[in-house]
Amino acid sequence: MTQRETIQRESDGAAAPPAERRLDVVSVLFRFQSMLGLVAVFIAAVLFSPHRGAQILFLTSENLFNVVRAVAEIGIIAVGMTFVILIGGIDLSVGAVLGLAAVGSAVLMVENGMGVVPTVLLVLLIGLVFGLLQGIASARFGIQSFIVTLAGLQVARGLARIWSGGQGVAIAYGDGPGEAPVAFSLLGERTFNGLVPIPALIFVVVAAAAIAFLRVSVFARHLYAVGGNQKAARLSGVPVNRVKIAVFGISGALAALAGIVHAGQLNQGSPNDGAGYELDAIAAVVIGGTSLAGGRGSVVGTVAGALLLGVLNNVLALNNIDANIQLLIKGLVIVAAAGLQRLRPAL
């Protein structure tokens, strides 16, 4: 098997050693570990769902789309986070960047009278540049990404507070001054007969693009190489620093995209928004089977991880489990998923 094929298999979340392609039960199970978790939680949700007559409330189409809408922002962030974690890094700034982007979207449209397209592009650029700067600080100066992005979190929060004047900027729609273009309100809407939420569609598109990108691009090979063995990657001519900087750029841009979606869904940009979202995103990535040590994992897994968390949240809420107990259950599920990773047969 060639190097390229190996990497492609890895990007599928493959665990089976290429030399011996025994499709024994264990390796298949672990290969689809993140999917299995999602399926298990989904079945549990169906079983434990409250009923209204013969109707299983969890399975109503509106509820299922609610789940996807609810995880859309975390999911978009988690896709970017997957790139960062694949090289063995971490990005703690994404929640704050989401807040900054939400504020930016609101202020640019409401106070500066900018149109939707320039606003979106500028906000995405801000996220991209913010991420790239963190990548440069981490790669060029050899500071651990944990510290760099922890600092980045503070900086982004501070910028969001300054830009917004310390309070939420409401987005009102219309053509007049102080009003945002009506087109932006699409982000809070549903399409296909008022069923499919736009943020869910955006999440699906982002995830699909990332999956495709990781399958075909040269960059993806470099990514897994850097995450697997940095020294070996460098020696074999992979531009390690450039790869590192790029993944933080991707993560920042996607966090900004999530922030735009956030502003559109809530009709407001608040500097405090997105607090703690980075942890949910990391949880989704880890549940999805991506190793925090880098080099192994997939976006498919992350999507499954995000949906797993969403389904879990949803069914706990539908059953009105006490909010404090919910935290315990979610914690246990994350530990269980991480534990499964350790059990995974070595490559």
- Applying CB under 8 A, among 136, 179, 201, 204 the residue interacting with another protein is 179
CA atoms within 13 A on the CB side of 238: 23
- Applying CB under 8 A, among 113, 118, 158, 178 the residue interacting with another protein is 178
Binding mask 4-43 for another protein (x = CB under 8 A): ----------------------------------------
Provide, rounded to whole angstroms, the least separation between the CB of residue 66 and another protein: 5
Nearest CB to another protein, comparing residues 67 and 238 = 67
The window from 50-58, 130-138, 220-228, 335-343 that contacts another protein (CB under 8 A) reads 50-58
Q: By CB under 8 A, is residue 168 in contact with another protein? A: yes
Nearest CB to another protein, comparing residues 10 and 73 = 73
Nearest CB to another protein, comparing residues 108 and 247 = 108
267-296: contacts with another protein (CB under 8 A): 267-268, 270-273, 275-276
- Applying CB under 8 A, among 28, 36, 44, 57 the residue interacting with another protein is 57
CA separation (Å) from 9 to 17, 34, 182, 343? Answer: 10, 16, 44, 20
Residue whose structure tokens are 């991506």: 290
The rounded distance, in Å, linking the Cα atoms of 332 and 317 is 17
Nearest CB to another protein, comparing residues 229 and 267 = 267
Nearest Cα residue to 49 out of 38, 60, 65: 60
Nearest CB to another protein, comparing residues 178 and 345 = 178
CA separation (Å) from 129 to 208, 246, 302? Answer: 24, 10, 24
CB 82 within 8 A of CB 210: yes
User: Quick one: tokens of 230?
Assistant: 């940095």
Provide, rounded to whole angstroms, the least separation between the CB of residue 182 and another protein: 5
The rounded distance, in Å, linking the Cα atoms of 301 and 31 is 10
Q: By CB under 8 A, is residue 266 in contact with another protein? A: yes
The rounded distance, in Å, linking the Cα atoms of 202 and 265 is 13
- Applying CB under 8 A, among 14, 42, 73, 311 the residue interacting with another protein is 73
CB 247 within 8 A of CB 85: no
Total site size for another protein, rule CB under 8 A:
46
Q: By CB under 8 A, is residue 193 in contact with another protein? A: no
Q: How many CB atoms lie within 10 A of CB 61?
A: 9
Binding mask 311-340 for another protein (x = CB under 8 A): --xx--xx-x-xx-----------------
104-133: contacts with another protein (CB under 8 A): 110
CA separation (Å) from 91 to 132, 134, 145? Answer: 12, 9, 7
In this structure, which amino acid lies at residue 303? V
Provide, rounded to whole angstroms, the least separation between the CB of residue 333 and another protein: 18
Task: Annotate 125-194 with DSSP letters as a single string.
Answer: HHHHHHHHHHHHHHHHS---HHHHHHHHHHHHHHHHHHHHTTS-EE--BSSSTT-B-GGGGGGG-EETTT
Provide, rounded to whole angstroms, the least separation between the CB of residue 46 and another protein: 14
Q: Using CB atoms within 10 Å of the CB of residue 319, give its burial: 0 to 12 exposed, 13 to 18 middle, 19+ buried.
A: middle
Binding stretches for another protein (CB under 8 A): 50, 52, 57, 60, 62-63, 66, 70, 73, 110, 165-174, 178-179, 182, 185, 188-190, 194, 262, 265-268, 270-273, 275-276, 313-314, 317-318, 320, 322-323
